Chains A and B, each alone.
Chain A
Amino acid sequence: MKAIAAQTLTKRFGAFTAVDAITFDVAAGEVFGFLGANGAGKTTAIKMLVGLLAPTSGEARVAGFDVHSQRDDIRRSIGYMSQRFALYADLTVRENIQLYGAIYGLSDEAIAAGTTAMLERLNLPGHADDFVASLPLGWKQKVAFSVAMLHEPKIVFLDEPTGGVDPITRRQFWELIYEAAARGTTVFVTTHYMDEAEYCDRISIMVNGRITALGTPGDLKREFDAATVDELFVRLARPAGATEAGSAA
């Protein structure tokens, strides 16, 4: 079974087509990079895939569930974290874990075991009772990722998880991603760091609501004769003559 299968998935807001008939699959256990310039439609597409926004037309199944009729099932089957929203800053690390564990219906025993295991894996055993607000950004993001994985979701959606994070922690974060993928979790990730796009099994590049390139970083670089994903992105992400203003809603 595909982790994600989207068929001509579309979202319109009035006369504006934010997501224009995108079709793509993500295999189970794959690290899939979902790239695009600001305003290209990535966030709208993700909102449809995680069950927060109803599509205008088209089909998609996420973890086997239908985005039109089974949105609650989808939300139970996925993890989600973003740079903007991840943890409650005025709760401690332990309280955040308890809150998310309870939301996902885990037992007290499972939450307690998960808390211990997570703090050891992240090398943070002394900080369980620290307020999240007091943690450095990089730690926060690693804890947020682990919390999003607490209920062992089949798919985790990461929306710019490493923005502003220092270069060492950014790389440690990607090792957490690799470990999750090695355990069979599908990872769907967006980033503005083009070096991170190279770490994905496959990437897609979205331009004005459509997917204009899809493949492994190596294949796409060869197809478009680009030395790096950065070069590829710069060439594809902003079609000649278009400005960001033209796509602003």
Chain B
Amino acid sequence: MGKRFGDVVALQDVSFDVRGGELFGLVGPDGAGKTTLFRILTTLLVPDGGAATVLGLDVVRDFWAIRRRIGYMPGTFSLYPDLTVAENLEFFASVFGTTVERGYDLIAPIYRQIEPFRDRRADALSGGMKQKLALSCALVHRPDLLFLDEPTTGVDAVSRREFWDQLGILRASGLPILVSTPYMDEALRCDRVALIQQGRILEIDPPREIGKRYSRPLLAVPAEGATRYHLLQTLRGFSHAYSVYPFGEELHYTDRRAGTAPDAIATELAGYLRAHGLRDVEARPIAAGIEDAFMALMSQGANELADAAA
């Protein structure tokens, strides 16, 4: 599929499939094309090129049938602010020709947490409660497929975990879920993820497979406290450095020399750092995680685009 808005290419040659019962993650930063892709698959936008089917139905021709069978939680809060919690839920049930009672057992694990506030107006809810109500409204008609566009953006680390726990429960019930997120760590909760950047899918794999194609030696260097920035700059000055990025309490150092033994590089780095006054810094070979892989694919993509333009 492809989609342009004027001169802006929002999606380019996007191909993927989501299997029955799968929790599929679309992982990428703001502006990568995630929302455009969701809008096409939920029949709110028509693609310029390519084709897509959802539940076996064509997104252009069969849009009306698709809409009845999917649940969609958009990235921006889109419930009625001046209706109460209970009224919003009843409204969404009635639009789909059903009742809250008939969907209750499916939404119960989520809805019970906000049910004590059923008479509160939606605009008076906290962020986390709004999110739970929006998910309940997207589920109340028992959809065959659930679309969640950035459900955890702007949500704190604890609430994010709770939300993913709830998705795990839904997934266990057999409901296929397509979810997008800018948070790389959330990819680990998915069965498979597609990494997306600038309208293109960089890779599709189970999350634990994604780092395996990382082709260069990668080492973690402890960097706690005040010397972090100095250490970062010093490592970047090493003649074989490919990239050096902060990663929490460590720096991740990637070496240019694919095929060189990481242990040998660790010894070399220790010597180099010692010569620059940084003693007792031990680099440790590690396997690439999803964020390492994403950044490598991003810069590789940028280099290819630059080559193509040159």
Interface residues on B, range: 35 or more
- Known pairs A164-B29, A165-B29, A245-B114; A192 contacts B157 (CB<8 A): yes
- Known pairs A192-B156, A216-B225; A245 contacts B126 (CB<8 A): yes
Q: Mark B172-215, 1 if CB is under 8 A from A, else 0.
A: 00000000001110000000000001000000000000000000
Which residue on chain A has the smallest CB distance to residue B183? A193
The answer for the CA separation of A147 and B107 in the assembled complex, in Å, is 46
Which residue on chain B has the smallest CB distance to residue A177? B229
Q: Mark A219-249, 1 if CB is under 8 A from B, else 0.
A: 0000000001110011001100001110111
- Known pairs A160-B154, A194-B157, A195-B247; A39 contacts B29 (CB<8 A): no
Let me know if A169 is at the binding interface, CB within 8 A: yes
B128 adjacent to A166 (CB under 8 Å): no
Which residue on chain A has the smallest CB distance to residue B154? A163
Using Cβ atoms and an 8 Å threshold, which residues of chain B touch A83? 154
Which residue on chain B has the smallest CB distance to residue A231? B157
Query: In the complex, what's the smallest C-beta–C-beta distance from A89 to chain B, in angstroms?
Result: 14
Which residue on chain B has the smallest CB distance to residue A230? B157
B248 adjacent to A245 (CB under 8 Å): no
Using Cβ atoms and an 8 Å threshold, which residues of chain A touch B32? 166
Q: Mark B131-157, 1 if CB is under 8 A from A, else 0.
A: 000000000000000000010011111
Using Cβ atoms and an 8 Å threshold, which residues of chain A touch B126? 38-39, 244-245, 247-249
Let me know if B228 is at the binding interface, CB within 8 A: yes
What would 8 A/B residue contacts be, using CB atoms closer than 8 Å? A136-B31, A137-B31, A164-B30, A168-B245, A198-B249, A237-B158, A238-B158, A244-B126
Chain B positions near chain A (C-beta within 8 angstroms): 28-32, 113-114, 116-117, 125-129, 150, 153-161, 182-184, 197, 224-226, 228-229, 232, 245-249, 291, 294-295, 298-299
